């Protein structure tokens, strides 16, 4: 009798714990897959991207009461050393150092937002962008620009562990400045 009661309590506890875990929107997104690449989970693709310096996951409700999971990651410029884009020359360590000097306080980040469905069983991408933020030299005021990742081309490069063309281009242009 005690063994049966203990087994029932254990079973109920397992159901409660699994219910709590599955209701975590961040874990749901991390464990899910996207239509364009079902061979890797969202979490493994984003957390495993070799060009990111740091990653952060958060969830919140937007003004329409949707549950949004947001992924933010900063790029590690040094990891772009030796990479190339199209027919351009590879970025060298000297080029990256000059780009970092010229960029100063500018930070480049990847931001992806996912909306959780009302049934809390599925999700979809609502935005993917490259965020460039820093301080305007002349005024000292913070500035931020978001560049939409139309057709998710940059996100697909993350999934394929290829360097971001947007970041690569910004680093290349910054390296060429006097």
Question: How does DSSP assign 75-96, residue by residue?
Answer: E-GGGGTT---TTSPPPPHHHH
- Which of 68-72, 136-140, 149-153, 161-165 is least confident? 136-140
The pTM of the whole model exceeds 0.85: no
Domain borders along the chain are 25-176
Find the helix packing angle between 93-103 and 165-176, rounded to 10°. Answer: 80
- Which of 1-15, 40-54, 98-112, 146-160 is least confident? 1-15
Confidence at residue 23, expressed as pLDDT on a 0 to 100 scale: 82
Question: How many whole angstroms separate alpha carbon 115 and alpha carbon 124?
Answer: 5
Confidence at residue 10, expressed as pLDDT on a 0 to 100 scale: 39
Which residues touch 121 (CB under 8 Å, ≥6 apart)?
none
Report whether pLDDT(24) > 60. yes
Question: How many whole angstroms separate alpha carbon 60 and alpha carbon 68?
Answer: 5
- In 3D, which of 95, 98, 42, 100 has the Cα closest to residue 76? 100
Q: Could you give phi then psi for residue 149, rounded to 5 degrees? A: -95, 80
b/e map of 83-112 (b: 16 or more CB within 10 Å)? Answer: bebeeeeebeeebbebbeeebeeeebbbeb
Report whether pLDDT(6) > 50. no
Could you report the per-residue pLDDT of 57-116, keeping only the tens digit for each?
999 999 999 999 999 999 999 999 999 998 899 999 999 999 999 998 899 999 999 999
DSSP label at 120?
Answer: S
């Amino acid at each position: 009798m005690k063994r049966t009661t203990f087994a029932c309590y254990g079973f109920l506890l397992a159901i409660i714990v699994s219910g709590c875990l599955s209701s975590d929107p961040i874990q749901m997104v991390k464990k899910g897959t996207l239509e364009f690449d079902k061979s890797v989970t969202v979490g493994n693709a984003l957390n495993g991207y070799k060009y990111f310096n740091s990653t952060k996951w958060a969830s919140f409700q937007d003004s329409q009461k949707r549950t949004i999971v947001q992924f933010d990651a900063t790029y590690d410029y040094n990891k772009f050393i030796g990479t190339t884009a199209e027919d351009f020359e590879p970025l060298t360590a000297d080029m990256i150092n000059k780009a970092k000097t010229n960029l100063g306080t500018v930070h480049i980040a990847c931001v992806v937002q996912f909306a959780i469905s009302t049934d809390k069983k599925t999700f979809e991408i609502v935005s993917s962008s490259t965020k460039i933020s820093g301080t305007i030299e002349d005024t000292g005021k913070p500035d931020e620009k978001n560049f939409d990742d139309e057709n998710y081309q940059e996100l697909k490069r993350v999934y394929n562990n290829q360097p971001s063309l947007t970041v690569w281009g910004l680093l290349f242009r910054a390296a060429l400045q006097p």
